Chain A
Amino acid sequence: MSSLRRSYRQNLLGLGIAALLLVGVGLIVSNSFYLTTLIFALISAISAIGLTLVFGFAGLASLGQAAFFGIGAYTAACLTEFYHLPPLLSLMCAVASASLSAWAIGRPLLRLSGVYLTMASLAFGLIAYLTFSQMRRITGGLDPGFMLTHEFSIGPFRLGDTHSMYWVCSCFTIATLLVALNLIHSKFGRALRALKSSAPASEGVGISTASYKSTVFAIAAGMTGLSGGLYAFFMRSFNATAFNFNLSIELLVVVMIGSLRSVWGALFGAAFVTLLPTLLENLEDFKLFVYGAIIVAIMMFMPDGLFDGLLRLVIRSPRKADV
């Protein structure tokens, strides 16, 4: 078997182990506070897996992911609340709507590069946030926010309680990881890494950099939309503040604490960032400050991500593509 095929198999094995771990945790933990923390970590991991593809692999630093999270959340919530669509279908529509909006803005947006792209995506995120908070007839704005009276269910199974939502989020996390691994271990994944390092040479081997960029942007937005939809079904009552700039920053921090070179880092980063507030009291007040410090420190000392850097220190492997 070729070495690349073997590395893919190893990742699938890792995925199996991760699934077993999630099952183990789900069987042991019954405290709803811990379960809630875990659910938030899984939701954030799903978004971060998408951002790892966009930022880590393709090198497109997006600061507008909160917009897609919000689009996903409101799509899922509105379709179920107002149109009585089955929750699972609403969730799939959340993925589609986030993906399609990313596709629509991706072409003009991704023509920019570097800091201009970051600024433009930031602006998009702010516009989306303002729209969410102003369209009060639909979204409930900041106050009173959205009230979702239906709980999550699949067919006849009601899955609205915390424990069930943990299982639901675990399944979607594993599915998202699988999709991301499939992408990375294909010509698509190589094309992303290629266009990150040399756009002319990528075009030179037949890679349409523009369409690969907008495709990965749309796929990542779909993942972020999925986590937004899960957030909506888990919270049931939420307001537009959840989708502000802080969320975009937080997702970036998750990726940077995890890894820019491997989607596994997203799990680690999400766990870290979600557990951080339980370690530091009153974190809300100076969260952005802490995040800022973390970003600067990681950029300076471990540009491939903290988890990645630590792992490399431990196994002392040479810097080589870990995919």
Chain B
Amino acid sequence: MLAVSNLTKRFAGLLAVDNLSFTVPAGKVTALIGPNGAGKTTVLSMASGLLQPSNGSVTFDGRSIIGSPGHTIARLGISRTYQNLQMFEDMSVLEVAMTGAHRCGTSNIWSTLFGLPSIIREERLIETAARDALAEAGVPSTLFGQDAETLPYGLQRRVELARALAAKPRLLLLDEPAAGLNPVETRDLSALLSTLRAGGLTVLLVEHDMDLVMKLSDYVVVMNFGRAIAAGTPRQVQSDPQVVEAYLGAED
């Protein structure tokens, strides 16, 4: 579904991603792992149009998405969450999720200005999509009216997940969804991702929590210093000597 080939990103002399190739097959969970600074977030940012690669290509359903702005890629059906929260300020939880469902709306600016009845229908549609996504992400409905920014960190991460799901994506990019969560929250997240996976959603998961990765993913791609050092099923990469070395080396 998503194919990355020879992808390279240079930041002023630093080679963050170096000639990386891998594919994310449809309906599967692919994990992208590696030590800190390996270039994982940079890959997600290039796949979501936030960064332009220095070289190489990213295709989605056979169509190149390099050079397309982020909103165009989002409309093709790629949603993501962020390693550092990118919460919308001054919005209730429901409104944040409704903003996630932005692309469900098709009205033009004129019907909005004049408040035509089609807008009311559209708002209802968007609100339903948002409520469903929040329920899916396990946000209790008692919180829908609260200012999203005032929620505890774990809940804000769920709201961000709901925002991504509200767009009804075909491919979901998750950047360390378990980071900063306590064990209970991590278990909930794991259950939630299993449900999404069972529903047939394609996921590219960046994560440091190995239990989560091994349990959830169908394929694993291991990165170090911008390069892929191993790829395969969770079992295969677990026993790969290069992977073991990269992780042990990183912990020193």
Chain A residues proximal to chain B, CB less than 8 Å: 2-5, 178-179, 182-183, 185-188, 190-191, 193-194, 196-198, 200-209, 215, 219, 261, 318-321
14 A-B pairs (CB sep. < 8 Å): A179-B113, A185-B123, A186-B112, A187-B98, A187-B107, A196-B89, A197-B90, A200-B50, A200-B70, A200-B82, A201-B87, A203-B50, A204-B50, A318-B147
Q: Is the CB of A203 within 8 A of B69?
A: yes
CB distance from B175 to the nearest CB of A (A): 11
**A residues less than 8 Å from B75 (CB atoms):** 206
Contact status of A201 and B147, CB under 8 A, knowing A182-B115, A186-B119, A190-B98: no
Please judge, given known A-B contacts A4-B94, A197-B88, A320-B92, whether A205 and B100 are in contact too, CB under 8 Å.
yes
Q: Residues of B with Cβ closer than 8 Å to A?
A: 48-50, 69-72, 74-75, 79-80, 82, 86-92, 94-95, 98-103, 105, 107, 109, 112-115, 119-120, 122-124, 126-127, 145, 147, 150, 163-164, 166-167
A321 touches B92 (CB 8 A): yes
A107 CA to B127 CA in the complex, in Å?
A: 31
Given contacts A182-B113, A207-B102, contact A190 B70 (CB under 8 A): no
Assuming the contacts A179-B113, A206-B71, A319-B147, asked whether A191 and B123 have C-beta atoms less than 8 A apart, the reply is no
Contact status B99-A205, CB under 8 Å: yes
Known: A203-B71, A204-B48. 11 other contacts (CB 8 A): A4-B127, A186-B112, A187-B102, A187-B126, A191-B102, A205-B79, A205-B102, A205-B166, A206-B71, A219-B113, A320-B90
Closest to B104 in A: A187
Alpha-carbon gap, A219 to B112, bound state (A): 12
Known: A4-B95, A194-B88, A206-B75. A321 touches B123 (CB 8 A): no
Are B88 and A182 closer than 8 Å at their CB atoms?
A: no
With contacts A186-B123, A206-B167 known, is A193 near B105, CB below 8 A? Answer: no
